[in-house]
Amino acid sequence: MKKALKKPLKSRRTGERIRHAAEPCVKIEFVHPTAETVCIAGTFNDWHPRATEMVALGEGRWAKELVLPPGVHEYRIVVDGEWMADPCATETAPNPYGGMNSVLRVPAP
């Protein structure tokens, strides 16, 4: 008998995935002193530039906690509509547009 594949649960309010207890939470931090909005676009949100907004912490600091399943996830930071690689990322991968994507590796629990 085949098991039914379950779709990840999503919040009705934000559309973001709801965390299962076994899924790790990853925190991304970013600094940009003049940014008005900072978002994260990546493989985990179908590269939608406004889907995952970072939270302003003051003094140009931004942060976001992401609930991601284990695996490799590519992303870019979107600052006031401008796409850029995360300068704090320890790993990058080339993208088809001649730039670099930042890479997150989420280990299995």
Instruction: Convert the pLDDT of each residue in 11-29 to its tens digit.
Output: 455 555 454 555 678 999 9
pTM for the full model?
0.78
According to the model, what pLDDT value does residue 109 have?
79
According to the model, what pLDDT value does residue 4 have?
43
Residue type, 79: V
100, two tokens = 């670099």
Rounded mean pLDDT, 28-44: 97
Domain 25-106 belongs in CATH node 3.40.50.300:
no
Spatial distance between the Cα atoms of 37 and 94, rounded to a whole number of angstroms: 25
For 5-14, 65-74, 78-87, which range has the lowest pLDDT when averaged over its residues? 5-14
Distance from the Cα of residue 82 to its chain's centroid:
16
